[in-house]
Structure 1
């Protein structure tokens, strides 16, 4: 992360930050040499630092101003929020918090929760480690954490580094550093009993070198060894900020989204909240808790599922429920009233391709939604709605739309899709009803073959509901 043009990092500030970071990283060496820190104390100090690095990276990602192109083939939690534009500024002297960066912040936190934390707990109990919390250990941990916090306040926020970095860049760097820290700790664990003080001192030196090199790359911006480009980068991690400028024309008509239809539509989107690493492992945890029959673990798993489902509903509402559609001259603008920023701008008089969206929520509530193909401002299809009265919206926004009716109710399609849906659901139901198959085996088979059943079951359910 380089400083902003016209707002360079001062030499004194950089030097002070480097000295503070160096001192905080060398403090564990004092603990090893003078205070008798053992392997357990060193691992706890570095694990805590790594965890605080991840949490702080998630916070930094929310402020990152530049856009993130994303990683091909990867779906982050709340992936749909990446298309939001604008942000909330909760402090006048701080930059806005951008909802579009929330998926990247959650991805790095989720990675730790489903990989590093369980492995760390497993290692702790398998190695039968004991820890005595002393004043010097608390001082060492505090110094490492405070060094990162001061870098965030004075460098990242104070010197405006947030304006020259993307969320995707931020979450990669701490993930790499955290893996290095954990790997160094595990290597030290394998050798410390035989080599004693020398190995512990080498661990501290290696960790200090990694931290100082990372500080140099972030603040000076010129990698020495180019290891990141060779090992991790498969393309650019940053692109220009995606904000749009409003057309220079007055609002001649406006229509708001129907909150009821948005909330009902979010129910169907909950399933997509589990189509990622964190969501899938949460479902696995739920199945294992059911098989184990432990009430506490079952309660925790259900709470995790509820949190993911609620987050999906809230993100869906933020994406569509706070939008007002405005006619400004020859342009149609989707303006988010909560973020006070345009989400997309479509030119109405340039052959815009409108179509009626056959949404289930619209059929049940009598609302309506339009889609617009290949909108140039965002280079994708967009949607207008759901709105309470689609005909009134077309007239108020003066849109070139002639047909607003959805397909008629089709009982034959509903019946056929429902019968096929029951046939698919009968397979896992039969596993639980067959006395020769244990509950544990039934749950295990259901979990393994769930991805193969969810696609046809979801398609049949949608086909039936879309013709209600």
Structure 2
């Protein structure tokens, strides 16, 4: 495996850098051309890492996430879903992947300004295209090796995204731009040295961020061998109809606030109608995003009631997510809301445990759930059992 890794690293480094080195030495590339190649490689590497990160099986050591990230609530999901012959995609990896892509979206305008500011002369398009093709081939080799060697079984989402590698390329690109802006033309020998340094970065990219933790295994409690006393499903249709209701308000919360900035620019440049259309599109995108986020988080839940505990099971991921011991439940009741008359679905069910209230939204047969799960209900049994609390909602 070590020899195979080394061959892949060498091949990838040659493909990604040989054309660039020839362009610098033989075709007298300006520094701006090198910046273009590096920035394109950083973007492609980030996209490759984002796709790889979706399949990463290991549980990340660092689990802290900014709650403002899109789909941040998915980080608590257990299990993955398979699509055709592909390995499982793990929803818990999606927030980190979206955060990485968001960083690229914010970074690229700045990078473009650096290139424009430093490109005093025209770029050698023909030879530059050859260098870019080499970069793309190098990234393709890394992607194929990721699948062929099943590296997704050993990677966490952050290691699969190759953040150190992308950061190294970006530092080289922006550092070169600053040097060029300060000192003007850069000697070809110095540019060649930069390319050789980049080759070293490439050689160390594969496997630099692996972890020594055991392969991720779902540690949530498995259901008992006996059949549950009752099963209560979520009314998925009602839940999804509710989801986009607050979409306009999300536009005023980071990172969605970036869409408001884009809408403002479109309105200033294109007028009232263009701004209105952009605002409508932004609200629609946020609404669709909310529907997808809520569907993955809650749309496929079932609550399996056993004599000593209630297990939250996800039909999409086919994995038990968590459970609560019946002995810790102090109260179960439905909650009245001013929106009950206008929103679809049933009233919210509140399950109170010691110090915590858990709200179950759009639950089918809420009255039957209350009757079954409440202390002293039909399925009540105070026998102790191993379980962990439901994650907060």
TM-score for both structures, normalised by structure 1: 0.69
| Aligned counterparts of 1:79 and 1:386: Cα–Cα separation in 2 | 21
Query: Structure 1 residues 179 and 359 mapped into 2: Cα distance closer, same or farther (>3 Å)?
Result: farther
Q: What CA RMSD, in Å, does the superposition of the two structures yield over aligned residues? A: 3.4
Query: Structure 1 residues 206 and 212 mapped into 2: Cα distance closer, same or farther (>3 Å)?
Result: same
1:418 alignment partner in structure 2 = none
> Is the partner of 2:75 in helix, strand or coil?
helix
After the TM superposition, which of the residue ranges 95-104 and 350-359 deviates more from structure 2? 350-359
Given candidates 15, 27, 39, the residue that maps to 1:24 is 15
1:394 alignment partner in structure 2 = 370
* Aligned: 1:371 with 2:350: yes
Cα deviations across residues 2-51 of structure 1 (Å, max 9, x unaligned)?
Answer: xxxxxxxx132112112113313431112211233332332222111111
Query: Structure 1 residues 298 and 382 mapped into 2: Cα distance closer, same or farther (>3 Å)?
Result: same
**Aligned 8 A contact 2:247 2:283 in 1:** no
| Aligned counterparts of 1:306 and 1:291: Cα–Cα separation in 2 | 21
Question: What is the CA distance between 1:286 and its match in structure 2?
Answer: 2.0
| Aligned counterparts of 2:325 and 2:76: Cα–Cα separation in 1 | 19
1:183 alignment partner in structure 2 = 174
Question: What is the CA distance between 1:97 and its match in structure 2?
Answer: 0.6
Given candidates 88, 92, 95, the residue that maps to 1:100 is 92
Cα deviations across residues 306-349 of structure 1 (Å, max 9, x unaligned)?
Answer: 22331122211221222122224533222222221222222224
Cα deviations across residues 158-186 of structure 1 (Å, max 9, x unaligned)?
Answer: 33332333224444435523532432341
> Is the partner of 1:266 in helix, strand or coil?
helix
2:149 alignment partner in structure 1 = 159
| Aligned counterparts of 1:148 and 1:353: Cα–Cα separation in 2 | 56
| Aligned counterparts of 1:99 and 1:54: Cα–Cα separation in 2 | 19
- Greater fraction of residues in helix: 1
* Aligned: 1:263 with 2:254: no
Query: Structure 1 residues 194 and 323 mapped into 2: Cα distance closer, same or farther (>3 Å)?
Result: same
User: Within 5 A, what are the aligned runs for 1:415-430?
Assistant: none
User: Within 5 A, what are the aligned runs for 1:413-452?
Assistant: none
| Aligned counterparts of 1:353 and 1:239: Cα–Cα separation in 2 | 38
* Aligned: 1:322 with 2:315: no
* Aligned: 1:88 with 2:81: yes
Question: What is the CA distance between 1:263 and its match in structure 2?
Answer: 2.4
**Aligned 8 A contact 1:283 1:305 in 2:** no
* Aligned: 1:289 with 2:266: yes
Given candidates 187, 200, 207, the residue that maps to 1:196 is 187
Given candidates 24, 32, 46, the residue that maps to 1:40 is 32
Given candidates 313, 333, 357, the residue that maps to 1:335 is 313
Cα deviations across residues 280-315 of structure 1 (Å, max 9, x unaligned)?
Answer: 121222234334553556645643442233112221
Cα deviations across residues 203-236 of structure 1 (Å, max 9, x unaligned)?
Answer: 21232233333336247x79xxxxxxxxxxxxxx
Query: Structure 1 residues 339 and 121 mapped into 2: Cα distance closer, same or farther (>3 Å)?
Result: same
2:386 alignment partner in structure 1 = none
Query: Structure 1 residues 273 and 12 mapped into 2: Cα distance closer, same or farther (>3 Å)?
Result: farther
| Aligned counterparts of 2:330 and 2:238: Cα–Cα separation in 1 | 25
Question: What is the CA distance between 1:252 and its match in structure 2?
Answer: 3.1
> Is the partner of 1:251 in helix, strand or coil?
coil
Across the two proteins, how many residue pairs are aligned to each other?
370
1:5 alignment partner in structure 2 = none
| Aligned counterparts of 2:356 and 2:214: Cα–Cα separation in 1 | 19
* Aligned: 1:244 with 2:220: yes
User: Within 5 A, what are the aligned runs for 1:23-172?
Assistant: 23-27=14-18, 28-68=20-60, 69-71=62-64, 75-92=68-85, 94-113=86-105, 115-127=106-118, 130-134=122-126, 136-154=127-145, 156-171=146-161, 172=163
**Aligned 8 A contact 1:265 1:360 in 2:** no
After the TM superposition, which of the residue ranges 118-127 and 42-51 deviates more from structure 2? 118-127
**Aligned 8 A contact 1:257 1:385 in 2:** yes
Q: Which runs of 5+ in 1 are unaligned?
A: 1-9, 223-236, 404-468
